Structure 1
Amino acid sequence: MPSPFSLANQESYLRWRDAKLARVESAYQKSPPHFQGIIQNGLSPTENELNNIIKQCNDYCLSLYQIRDHESYDIKQTKRMILSLANKLGLSQLDGNICADEDSLTSITQTSRAGQHEYIPYSTKRLSWHTDGYYNLPQNTIHSMLLHCARQAEEGGESKFMDHEIAYILLRDENPDYIEALMQKDVLTIPANIQNGKEIRAAQTGPVFSLNTQGQLHMRYSARKRNIEWKQDATTLDAVGFIEKMFESESKYIIKHRLKSGEGIICRNVLHCRTAYVDSDHPEEKRLLFRGRFYDELPLIDASKHL
């Protein structure tokens, strides 16, 4: 079947586009939205609960979940529960980044720890739009991501999510040349990470849009203004400007949700950001999220439906 992500296959693209928008617009209008689900027992999710998450990730590239019995787990048990849930969804290859814990999950919380405090995720500051692992090597591409809230902030800390397939549609409908530009292999470079004169990570250059082994769309993006190098051609810069305006316009396709204790998201590494927040003065009450970045791709239920 021709890929809808090929600019040479407009008919295939339009068929996929219309089906995607119909699913999304119907789901977003429901209350609660169709991309939200309940898990009664975090350590023993039912087959239906797991299939619901996978279906939502197939249809909307994300699934927001709520663990009903989350208060029965302490922090260590919560982490084990998260890893168990991910494994049951086919996610086991964790990205052990430099800020990750020993179990390769990352504790996202305000910290003064050396090697972490200089990065915005570990502060109370606003976190701009991005996909995870945009600075990784190609063989360490982050295809799936889990973010679980153990403790919410006192105030603020709202997350925003946008399905990257929707971003692709908006860009392609505006100007197909934007897609061609953003699929260039040298369109986006993240310079080397150098700390105290030592190279922690080499510079990484690659496309914004690419296809994974399933033929599904992957997006590599950051809205950061520093330590980022965009290819300096007019079409690329126009495309980057369009993306920025898309976020500023408060598109109807942007999902806003302040994660509460026991809630989380499992996704195909969609676009996301976070507002600034006010934290508790008590260390044991500070906002705490656990993040898992996975090299695995979430399973497809019906590949033909999504191509």
Structure 2
Amino acid sequence: MPATQGELAARFEENRSHLRAVAYRMLGSLSDAEDAVQEGWLKLSRTDVSGVDNLGGWLTTVVGRVCLDMLRSRTSRREDSLETRLPDPVVTDAPSDPAHEAEQVDSIGMAMLVVLDTLPPAERVAFVLHDMFAVPFDDIAPIVDKTPAATRQLASRARRKVRGEVPRGEPNLPRQRKVVDAFLAAARGGDFEALLEILDPGIVLRVDTGVGVLEYVRGAAAVAGRAVMYGKFVTSGRVVVVNGAVGLLSETDGKPTALMAYTFADGKVAELHIIADPKRLAALGIQVPDGS
């Protein structure tokens, strides 16, 4: 006998956080991810799943198809493309208990999201579903309309790009915090040489000011010069966790005005992503408790 709507809703809620994680990695947008999850619920509510043994897997493939359609639609709407803006960040309070670091291990970094945004839609779907969520290629193949072998190749191509572009990272939050503190001290003090010691030689800086074009700076000297130029204006900031790594949130009158997301490698800053669009930060609903 088919399940009642109440039973379906309860089973869907059991999978909601997983589906949101899948959609966010697919789309890089929190609002789009929520829309994709909602589409998954609508599909479930209209379908007899009494013969489905693995509802979580069924929902994952449904949301995967929705995300693929949304990714493909972006190619015809460049103004909505994430090529023109940074992915949405996930911002949480900086943990005071080192044991909380374990909760950040599964987070997806901003550097990874930026690279995922450069992948063709089918490659991104295949890589995210298989490499991040262990979905078998046989289940992914119908989503991308490929054979399992061709789907494996899609994921393999994406994997090579990710490995070539995403720094390995530093999972220890206290060590990250020391690097961020040193970066801020050097920037505020105008210490160019100290900044060069903190920045990876090939560091990439991306700045999203909300004008539809990302500002892109590469190289330690260029980024250090930019940090010295603007460091004197960074008079205060709240340490937060951005996608699992230590970051900094600047506020004015209690409202977020800029968010700095760091990527670390070998004790240095390998990438720096800045969202300096107060309207966008406000729309993301970033709420961090006082006293962090």
Quick check: TM above 0.5? Answer: no
Q: Which has the higher contact order (CA 8 A, sep 6+)?
A: 1
Higher helix share: 2
Higher strand share: 1
Instruction: Give the alignment's TM-score, normalised by structure 1.
Output: 0.25
